[in-house]
Structure 1
Amino acid sequence: MTTKHYNISLPLKLTFLIFSMVLNCMGIVILQLSEAKITYEKLGFLESFKDIPIAFISLFVVNFISKIGAKKALILALTIVGICSLILPFVEVFWFYKLWFAIIGTCFAIGKICVFGIIRNNISDEKSLAKTMNNVEASFMIGIFVVNTGFGWLISSQYSQFWKFGFLSISVLSAITIFLFSRLNISEPIKEEKVNIIEDLSGFINPLVIIFLAVIFSIVFVEQSFNSWLPSFYKNHLKVNSFFALQASSFLALFSYIGRTVTANIIQRFSLSKYYILCLSLIIFVLIIIAGIQFLDMDNSKILLYLFPVIGLFLSPLYPVINSKMIAQIDKTKANLFTSLIVIFSSLGSSVSSIIMSILFGNQLLSYYSVYILLAVIVLFTISLIYFKLADKTFRK
């Protein structure tokens, strides 16, 4: 990010931190509500109440953001998140969780489009864009770590029945971020009087974009298999308590943060495509080891508690690296609309993954957890190779 806009990096990072906390509290909610006898089938579809609004609203908020500006749109989204987090501890009924996640998903769609739009509006070089995106998205992983560690401590304490009051901290953080944004003058993405969504979308219908969106879908599909369901896998299959399950999952987020931070600092020395493929290859290698341990040495399977987090080092850079490579080629005036497509396919990947995971858990097929994820990563590896081959041909023209 240029020096002129360097001072906006903190509120952008805090924005992703906040949205990470509210989106990735799903693992805690699943863990706690499953103990309250809510079935895994119901909990699996709970993810859809977050992801479907994200997918549905993304295209329609582009005009709204263009009209009022990214700064005001971000402040509005953060205000709603803060209010919702303030209300949640005082509501007991299950249906409210559906409404809550739907509202949070809508706000996230607005927030992510605004953040990506601001970044793209100020950076053209794909490697610099990759560096900035990795830095900003690294805070997303810190949000996962903080929410798992904080709620894990609360759940394991004598005040475990008050675990939902942890959401009040998100309200406070939202207020701080809103204050920081209110004091800044930031360069807005280029505004248009009105975006013709249908006409502009037709310009994106080509093999390269379609394969790219399939890659985005697959990356989030794999990520969600870990983020929301790993605590329940640890507790149900490895028989550890709730606190340790959440702490072990926190280390996945911590390793993911390290992966994105390291990537941000070294990515300009490497080819984006080669770095991406190397990360994918290492994920497959670790998953093969995990699957072998599960099937050949079940008595020592608790070593999985320490192996799963290592995957975060190599999984976390994939999303920002592939996004930066593609977004750098998109016209700045179309950045918001293209980001909305990324948001849509990300949310679909998350929702489909959670539904499938709920079936896996509901049918007690946890022994196949690592194999299921390994197959998904192999599919991702295949379509990623296709994408890079098409991208090389397209961008060289």
Structure 2
Amino acid sequence: MKNQRILFALFLIYFVFAILLNSVGTVILQVIGNYGVSKSGASVLEGFKDLPIAIVSFLVASFLPRLGYKKSMLIGLAIVSLACTAMPLLPSFLTTKLLFLCVGVAFALVKVSVYSTLGLVAADRKQHASLMNLLEGFFMVGVLSAYWVFGYFIDSSDPKSSSWLQVYWVLALLCALTFALLLSTPFNEDRATLPPARGIAGDFAAMLQLFFKPLVCVFVITAFLYVLIEQSVGTWLPTFNNEILKLPAAMSVQVTSIFAACLAIGRLSAGVLMRRLNWYPVMNACVVGMAAMVLLALPLTHDVVADPHISWSTAPLATFLFPLIGLFMAPIYPAINSVMLSSLPKHQHSAMTGLLVIFSALGGTTGSLITGYVFGNFSGHFAFYLTLVPISIVLIMLYFFKNAVNHSEGEFDGSAIISSQH
């Protein structure tokens, strides 16, 4: 019962941050209309979110076990509660930047703590893999909810309406309730205790040393590229739907929920599939499937004619076909995370997650900035065709990741790695 309450708290925290983190695409669409910001100018919001995640993770992840995972999560929730409250009270593009900066700082504290706590709760490596898929799947349920929650408050008839800002009162309340639940939930973090004689400088050095292990190095590069692709699509899909497929603003956001739903379904079902199949061929099939969806769907998005009476039943086929790329993306992130984390001792999970968060954040920012620049200066079609480049590189990196896993059996527990592969 105690572990179930802890897991519920972790899942709820991830749900809250899923909504906040993945509202960037929706908010970009709104600030372009509300505040007259250019596409390339609006794309910096991804940086305001992701760069603080990377910086804070780099600085604090190695010694978070000394602060305490529960305290870190409470601090993160308090920060975003205040930031959400500021959005409707002080509406401006500057406030929006500060919101995502706060979300980035808070998520750095939260993700490292949640992943590390998951390692403490899991009884064995198989359960760790299962919980990782459920956690990431629940995260995507939050992303899916975000499109509908924000879509409900958007006024499609008036691009300059500030009604969408009222959604932040709902989010502030949700953060406060999650804070109260976490505060009242007992945690036992004894197994994550770091050696007292090592000190903070020693913790930091140990995290940096991890990066130079071949398996870890290949892993973080693969994670970087994966997040680059996911954020390129997820962040700019609402704008793509609005400008290329000619959908109304609210519908553009709501239709993007198909992408999130595909990610959620894929991740929630991945644990079942990968208990029966080897992870490497499944990952290869997923990457090839992603490329196929790009090549099948994007040609259908050319020469779309605007229809003032468009509805879900009359929307172009590409509206529903392209988001299916999420089904193929879904299993990759939890699978490589599970292989990596479950091969390490509990007290190293925080440092390893810190490296993961840093490179994931950098990947998200890079993807959004590149896609925003190409979208604004060339075309939305070319911007999404460009994802074929990192998709191809991920296919290559997975081969090196598999080899690094095989060659690391002497350094890490090889049987543990194999057993963690669902």
TM-score by shorter chain over 0.5: yes
Distance 1:374 1:339, change over 3 A: same
Please state how far the C-alpha of 1:186 moved relative to its aligned partner: 2.2
1:190 alignment counterpart: 192
Moved more, 119-128 or 353-362: 119-128
Alignment counterpart, residue 360 of structure 1, candidates 374, 382, 385: 374
Please state how far the C-alpha of 1:4 moved relative to its aligned partner: 5.5
Contact preservation (8 Å) 2:225, 2:363? yes
Contact preservation (8 Å) 2:122, 2:128? yes
2:419 alignment counterpart: none
Contact preservation (8 Å) 1:224, 1:350? yes
* Distance in 2 between residues matched to 1:64 and 1:370, nearest whole Å: 39
Please state how far the C-alpha of 1:126 moved relative to its aligned partner: 4.2
Q: Structure 1 unaligned segments of length 5 or more: list them.
A: none
Please state how far the C-alpha of 1:292 moved relative to its aligned partner: 4.2
Contact preservation (8 Å) 1:69, 1:191? no
Query: How many residues matched?
Result: 394
* Distance in 2 between residues matched to 1:328 and 1:231, nearest whole Å: 36
CA-to-aligned-CA distance 1:199-258 (integer Å, 9 cap, x gap): 442243032221111100001000101211100011111111111111110111111111
Q: For 1:285-324, what aligned pairs fall within 5 Å after superposition? A: 285-294=292-301, 302-324=316-338
* Distance in 2 between residues matched to 1:59 and 1:251, nearest whole Å: 34
- Quick check: 1:270 aligned with 2:272? no
* Distance in 2 between residues matched to 1:203 and 1:239, nearest whole Å: 48
Moved more, 362-371 or 96-105: 362-371
Q: For 1:105-254, what aligned pairs fall within 5 Å after superposition? A: 105-123=104-122, 125-156=124-155, 160-188=161-189, 190-192=192-194, 193=196, 194-195=199-200, 196=202, 197-254=204-261
1:377 alignment counterpart: 391
Please state how far the C-alpha of 1:319 moved relative to its aligned partner: 0.8
Contact preservation (8 Å) 1:113, 1:340? yes
Distance 1:263 1:72, change over 3 A: same
Please state how far the C-alpha of 1:294 moved relative to its aligned partner: 4.5
* Distance in 2 between residues matched to 1:306 and 1:92, nearest whole Å: 34
2:311 alignment counterpart: none
* Distance in 2 between residues matched to 1:394 and 1:164, nearest whole Å: 50
1:331 alignment counterpart: 345
Contact preservation (8 Å) 2:31, 2:37? yes
Q: Structure 2 unaligned segments of length 5 or more: list them.
A: 306-313, 415-422
Contact preservation (8 Å) 1:294, 1:301? no
Distance 1:10 1:109, change over 3 A: same
Contact preservation (8 Å) 1:79, 1:178? yes
Distance 1:201 1:7, change over 3 A: same
Q: AA paired with 1:236?
A: E
Moved more, 162-171 or 216-225: 162-171
Please state how far the C-alpha of 1:293 moved relative to its aligned partner: 3.3
Alignment counterpart, residue 403 of structure 2, candidates 389, 394, 397: 389
Secondary structure at the counterpart of residue 239 of structure 1: coil
TM-score normalised over the length of structure 1: 0.93
- Quick check: 1:29 aligned with 2:31? no
- Quick check: 1:13 aligned with 2:11? yes
Please state how far the C-alpha of 1:124 moved relative to its aligned partner: 6.9
* Distance in 2 between residues matched to 1:228 and 1:113, nearest whole Å: 23
CA-to-aligned-CA distance 1:264-310 (integer Å, 9 cap, x gap): 33332222223222222222222221244357x86899211111221
Q: AA paired with 1:221?
A: L
The percent identity for this pair of structures is 29
Moved more, 324-333 or 92-101: 92-101
- Quick check: 1:260 aligned with 2:267? yes
Please state how far the C-alpha of 1:259 moved relative to its aligned partner: 0.9
Contact preservation (8 Å) 1:290, 1:370? no
Runs of 4+ in 1 over 3 A off after TM superposition: 122-127, 156-160, 291-295, 297-301
Contact preservation (8 Å) 1:131, 1:268? no
Please state how far the C-alpha of 1:101 moved relative to its aligned partner: 1.2
CA-to-aligned-CA distance 1:313-336 (integer Å, 9 cap, x gap): 121221111101111111211110
Could you say what the CA RMSD is over the residues aligned between the two structures, in angstroms? Answer: 2.2
